[in-house]
């Protein structure tokens, strides 16, 4: 089991990982090399999510890998989970998005806010890839401010009726089940937001892929329409309680994205180093020039900083003291540095850098979505601003 990609380890980072954490990372790395790298460039050009990889990822245990074994999950710690996200995003942000949504945005809320019956019904099926999930929070008019959402859930004698539109929903068109966030009370009352488990075959539920994306092309992003969708009583996640519940899901997903950013950055750095050493211009490799060395030194420095920041975040998550603000800092820093590194790597590659055969431009374009979703870079600045000053600057 050997991978051609060897990651970045300039500070003996590996010595801070357990044998198991390394084994998990190396396995996913090899899987990405063997199964994703050969096809991802073409998938990206075709705008196609590689569905054929869904069963393999399930078989190896990638979905909800940090959830307990009793529900068919792998029961990993959060550092090992993060390393899976790093390696998947080394391949492509779209694949990591798929796994993030399935694990952190669909399985996590069922585990955290669901009844025992909902957990035993849904989690094993989601872990095994039998069911594919999506997470519907964002709406056409409510992106950064999800608390304003206007999808409604009205209680009836025997259940619920949902109405509304969700937008930018990853996996939306291929999902068999959606976690939909809706208001059960007054439209101005964000404390009435509750989560619902909505099988996508329910009458009144339709989805449509958003076309024309120039980013995350190997991932499906869809609009969801809910028109008088009747659900039984037990579709409600009983312990979901206000806007803080979907935000808790986002904290889980953002944690994984913080690791994912490192993966994408490593992929671009690795490509820049090898291209720089092999491309001869003015009779010497371009990596032997000062300008390109500054580029590479900056990339390496940012990756190393992000690794230690994120490992500590993972250790805090494992002991249960991680705060959402700490996750905001890591998501904001890591995705931003990955965007910068992808762009610089693309430039170092010259004309070849615009081809799908190389990876940097694909990562560069993907990371623009990652910069925007799960709380835009700006929103995380404002979350940190609030933590620093005590003053809320959102509105």
Partner 1 sequence: MKIAVCLKRVPDTTAKIVVGGDGKSIDEAGVKFVPNPFDEYAIEEALALKEKAGAGETVVYSLGGDSSQETIRTALAMGIDRGVLLKTEGSADGLVVARALADAMEGEGFDLILFGKLAVDDNNYQVGPMTAEFLGLPCVTTVAHLSIEDGAVTAEREIEGGVEVSTCRLPAVLTCDKGLNEPRLPKLKGIMAAKKKPLDVKPVELAAGSIEVLGLELPPARSEGKIVGEGPDAVPELINLLRNEAKVL
- Active-site residues, by number, are 374
Using CA atoms, how far residue 187 sits from 8, 149, 164, in Å, is 49, 8, 12
Q: Which of 101, 360, 73, 54 is nearest to 250 (CA)?
A: 101
Single out the segment in contact with ligand FAD by CB under 6 A; choices: 76-84, 130-138, 298-306, 340-348.
Answer: 130-138
Q: Give the one entry of ligand FAD, partner 1, none that residue 59 binds, where binding means its C-beta sits below a cut-off of 5 to 8 angstroms depending on kind.
A: partner 1
Q: What is the DSSP letter of 2?
A: -
Interface residue list for partner 1 (CB under 8 A): 1-4, 6, 19-20, 23-24, 27, 30-31, 59-62, 65, 69, 74-76, 84
Smallest gap from residue 360 Cβ to ligand FAD (A): 19
- Residue 75 contacts residue 134 (beta carbons within 8 Å): no
- Site membership for ligand FAD, residue 168 (CB under 6 A): yes
Q: Which two tokens stand for residue 371?
A: 């910069």
Smallest gap from residue 14 Cβ to partner 1 (A): 9
Q: Give the one entry of partner 1, ligand FAD, none that residue 376 binds, where binding means its C-beta sits below a cut-off of 5 to 8 angstroms depending on kind.
A: ligand FAD
Nearer to ligand FAD (CB atom), residue 47 or residue 159 = 47
Residue nearest ligand FAD, Cβ-based? 143
- Site membership for ligand FAD, residue 135 (CB under 6 A): yes
Task: List for the chain the helix, strand, coil content (%; round to 5).
Answer: 55, 15, 30
- Site membership for ligand FAD, residue 379 (CB under 6 A): yes
- Site membership for ligand FAD, residue 200 (CB under 6 A): no
CA distance 165 to 42: 32
Q: Which of 254, 248, 307 is nearest to 25 (CA)?
A: 307
Binds ligand FAD (CB under 6 A): choice among 10, 11, 308, 394: 394
Rg over CA atoms, the chain: 21
For strand 177-183 and strand 193-199, is the pairing parallel, antiparallel, or unpaired? Answer: antiparallel
Q: What SS3 state is found at 3? A: coil
Nearer to partner 1 (CB atom), residue 67 or residue 339 = 67
Residues 201-260 that bind ligand FAD (CB under 6 A): 216, 221
- Site membership for ligand FAD, residue 143 (CB under 6 A): yes
Q: Give the one entry of ligand FAD, partner 1, none that residue 339 binds, where binding means its C-beta sits below a cut-off of 5 to 8 angstroms depending on kind.
A: none
Chain centre to alpha carbon of residue 331: 10
For strand 284-285 and strand 280-281, is the pairing parallel, antiparallel, or unpaired? Answer: antiparallel
Residues at the interface with ligand FAD (CB under 6 A): 101, 135-138, 143-144, 168-170, 216, 221, 369, 372-374, 376, 378-379, 394
């Amino acid at each position: 089991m050997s991978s051609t990609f060897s990651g970045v380890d300039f500070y003996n980072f590996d010595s801070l990982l357990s044998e198991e954490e390394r084994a998990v990372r190396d396995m996913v790395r090899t899987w990405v090399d063997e199964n994703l790298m050969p096809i991802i460039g073409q998938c990206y050009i075709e705008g196609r999510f590689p569905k054929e990889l869904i069963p393999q990822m399930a078989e190896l245990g990638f979905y909800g890998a940090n959830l307990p074994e009793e529900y068919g999950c792998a029961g990993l710690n959060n550092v090992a989970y993060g390393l899976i996200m790093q390696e998947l995003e080394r391949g492509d942000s779209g694949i990591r998005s798929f796994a993030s949504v399935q694990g952190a945005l669909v399985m996590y809320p069922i585990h955290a806010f669901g009844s025992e019956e909902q957990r035993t019904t849904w989690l094993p099926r989601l872990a095994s890839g039998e069911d594919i999930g999506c997470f519907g929070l964002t709406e056409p008019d409510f992106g950064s401010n999800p608390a304003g959402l206007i999808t409604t859930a009205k209680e009836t004698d025997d259940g619920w009726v949902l109405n509304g539109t969700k937008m930018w929903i990853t996996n939306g068109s291929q999902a068999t089940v959606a976690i939909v966030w809706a208001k059960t009370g007054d439209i101005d009352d964000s404390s009435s937001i509750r989560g619902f488990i909505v099988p996508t075959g329910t009458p009144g539920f339709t989805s449509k892929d958003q076309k024309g994306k120039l980013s995350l092309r190997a991932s499906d992003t869809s609009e969801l329409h809910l028109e008088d969708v009747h659900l039984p009583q037990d579709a409600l996640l009983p312990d979901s309680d206000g806007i803080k519940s979907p935000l808790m899901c986002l904290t889980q997903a953002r944690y994984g994205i913080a690791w994912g950013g490192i993966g994408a950055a490593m992929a671009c750095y690795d490509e820049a180093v090898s291209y720089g050493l092999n491309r001869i211009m003015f009779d010497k490799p371009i990596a032997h020039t000062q300008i390109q060395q500054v580029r590479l030194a900056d990339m390496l420095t940012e990756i190393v900083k992000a690794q230690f920041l994120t490992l500590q975040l993972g250790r805090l998550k494992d002991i249960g003291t991680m705060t959402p603000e700490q996750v905001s800092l890591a998501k904001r820093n890591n995705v931003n540095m990955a965007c910068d590194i992808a762009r610089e790597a693309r430039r170092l590659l010259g004309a070849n850098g615009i081809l799908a055969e190389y990876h940097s431009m694909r990562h560069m374009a993907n990371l623009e979505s990652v910069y925007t979703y799960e709380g835009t870079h700006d929103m995380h600045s404002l979350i940190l601003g609030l933590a620093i000053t005590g003053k809320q600057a959102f509105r």
